[in-house]
Structure 1
Amino acid sequence: MQVDVVELLRGMLEIESLSGREERLAAFLVERMSALGLHAHTDEVGNAVGVRETPNGAGEIEREIVLMGHMDTVPGRIPVRIEDGELWGRGAVDAKGPLAAMIAAVALQAPPEGVRFTVIGAVEEESATSRGARHVAAMRRADMCIIGEPSGSGAVTIGYKGRLLLRCGMEQASAHTAGPGPSAPERMADWWIGVRTLCAALSAGRERLFDRYLPCLRELQSGSDGITEWAMAVVSVRLPPGAEVDELAGRVRELAGDGRLAVDAHEPAWETGRDDPLAKLFMRSIRAHGARPALKLKTGTCDMNIVGPAWRCPIVAYGPGDSGLDHAPNERICIEELQRGVEVLRGVLAQV
Structure 2
Amino acid sequence: MTSYLSDYVQQIKPSGIRRFFDLAATMEGVISLGVGEPDFVTAWNVREASILSLEQGYTSYTANAGLYSLREEISRYVSSRFGLTYSPDDELIVTVGASQALDIAIRAIVNPSEEVIIPEPCFVAYESLVSLTGGVPVHVHTTADKGFKATAEDFEAAVTEKTKAILICSPSNPTGSVYSKKELHEIAEFAKKHDLIVLADEIYAELTYDEEFTSIAALPGMKERTVVISGFSKAFAMTGWRLGFAAAPSEIRNAMLKIHQYAMMCAPAMAQYAALEGLKNGIEDVEKMKKSYRRRRNLFVETLNEIGLSCHHPSGAFYAFPSIKSTGMSSEQFAEELLLQEKVAVVPGNVFGPSGEGYIRCSYATSIEQLQEALVRMKRFLHKTT
More helix by share: 2
Q: Which structure has more strand as a fraction of its residues?
A: 1
Larger radius of gyration: 1
Q: Same fold (TM over 0.5)?
A: no
Q: TM-score range by the shorter chain?
A: under 0.3
**TM-score, structure 1 as length reference:** 0.24
